[in-house]
């Protein structure tokens, strides 16, 4: 599966600068200059962007120092006011599916950073059906599909049988929209499934139980499921399903829209940029403490003979003195 379709659920440190560009379907919602990454790059200003899939930050002087934080990884956001009420810090905590937690803290003179991130995160949660498979979900009202933001019904196939190897076949309705396909039972609206096109890996025509069936396979990142459907218009349904899926992959819709008077312009990066590998463990700088304390412990350094802030992870004091030469 294309990495760009997983940016909302992943975190990247010092990603290739070309991937700082807006990807397919990605839009710049908000942009700030002179934002400090307090946790990982203190006293260094950079540009911060909130898109409809992630939060991006990069050093203004060296774009190879950057962050890509998926909106789907964020579970806590708070505001911290510092510097005699002149600087507004936005702190948020993230968690990957592996269980690893990170903490990010950005400082900006504009308090709207916090408000904008909070609003975008709320919209992301509300548009979850654009990106997640849902089963037995409250999305059908009186035999009609409740549409999401920017969603349109393309076609509907009644008397479509859901085929399962270990269960009895059930008749229902299959609906194709511009962001997903939905099937629900004719007798029970809650017996349903919603699969976004972004999750689909392969669509094929196979013989099951002696009859032709449209089989849809999802990517492993979305569970690696197989679902099958059959009706009297199998060939038409199969052709339309493949067409809608192909179109969506080239023109994805993530369902997050904001009303801005001025659309922020975005600098595009090319591939001709020297990529320098840092010897410092970037991810360790952002690891969240179990007690949710944003500051590391103060420890004694025998090398310096001073009390210093405890270094993150397996980092060494000598790492702080290394300078990357261009």
Domain boundaries, given as residue ranges, for the chain: 3-127+267-321, 132-250
Strand, coil or helix: 157: strand
Least reliable range by pLDDT among 39-43, 229-233, 315-319: 315-319
CATH of domain 132-250: 2.30.29.30
How far apart, in Å, are the Cα atoms of 281 and each of 13, 42, 44?
Answer: 10, 15, 17
CATH 2.60.40.10 fits 3-127+267-321, yes or no: no
Q: Give the tens place of pLDDT for each residue, 224-242.
A: 999 999 999 999 999 999 9
Residue 1: predicted pLDDT = 62
Query: CATH topology of 3-127+267-321 equal to that of 132-250?
Result: yes
Q: Give the tens place of pLDDT for each residue, 137-186.
A: 999 999 999 999 889 999 999 999 999 866 788 999 999 999 999 999 99
Q: How confident is the model at residue 82 (pLDDT cuts 50, 70, 90)?
A: low
Residue 288 near residue 238, CB atoms below 8 Å: no
How far apart, in Å, are the Cα atoms of 220 and each of 166, 181, 248?
Answer: 21, 18, 19
For a pLDDT cut of 70, what percent of the chain falls above it? 81
Residue 55 pLDDT exceeds 70: yes
Taking the model in full, what pTM does it have?
0.81
Cα–Cα distance, 68 to 58 (Å, whole number): 9
Cα–Cα distance, 11 to 310 (Å, whole number): 24
């Amino acid at each position: 599966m294309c990495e760009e379709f997983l940016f909302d659920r992943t975190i990247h440190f010092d990603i290739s600068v070309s991937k700082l560009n807006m990807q397919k379907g990605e839009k710049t919602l908000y942009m700030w200059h002179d934002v400090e990454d307090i946790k990982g790059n203190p006293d260094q200003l950079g540009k911060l962007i909130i898109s409809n899939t992630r939060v991006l930050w990069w050093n203004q002087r060296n774009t190879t120092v950057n962050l890509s934080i998926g909106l789907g990884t964020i579970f806590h956001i708070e505001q911290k006011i510092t510097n005699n009420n002149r600087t507004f810090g936005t702190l948020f905590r993230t968690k990957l599916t592996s269980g690893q937690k990170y903490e990010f803290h950005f400082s900006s003179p504009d308090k709207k950073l916090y408000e904008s991130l909070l609003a975008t995160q709320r919209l992301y949660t509300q548009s979850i059906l654009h990106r997640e498979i849902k089963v037995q979900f409250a999305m059908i009202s009186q035999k009609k599909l409740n549409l999401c933001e920017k969603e349109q019904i393309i076609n509907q196939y009644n008397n479509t049988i859901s085929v399962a190897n270990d269960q009895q076949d059930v008749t229902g309705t299959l609906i194709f929209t511009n962001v997903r396909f939905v099937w629900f039972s004719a007798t029970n609206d809650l017996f349903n499934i919603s699969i976004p096109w972004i999750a689909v890996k392969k669509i094929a025509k196979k013989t099951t139980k002696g009859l032709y069936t449209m089989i849809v396979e999802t990517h492993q990142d979305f569970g690696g499921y197989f679902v099958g459907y059959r009706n009297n218009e199998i060939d038409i349904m199969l052709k339309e399903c493949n067409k809608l899926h192909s179109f969506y992959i080239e023109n994805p819709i993530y369902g997050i829209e904001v009303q801005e008077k001025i659309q922020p312009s975005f600098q595009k990066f090319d591939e001709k940029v020297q990529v320098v590998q840092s010897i410092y463990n970037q991810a360790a700088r952002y690891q969240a403490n179990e007690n949710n304390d944003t500051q590391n412990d103060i420890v004694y350094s025998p090398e310096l003979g001073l009390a210093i802030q405890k270094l993150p992870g397996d980092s060494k004091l000598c790492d702080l003195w290394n300078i990357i030469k261009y």
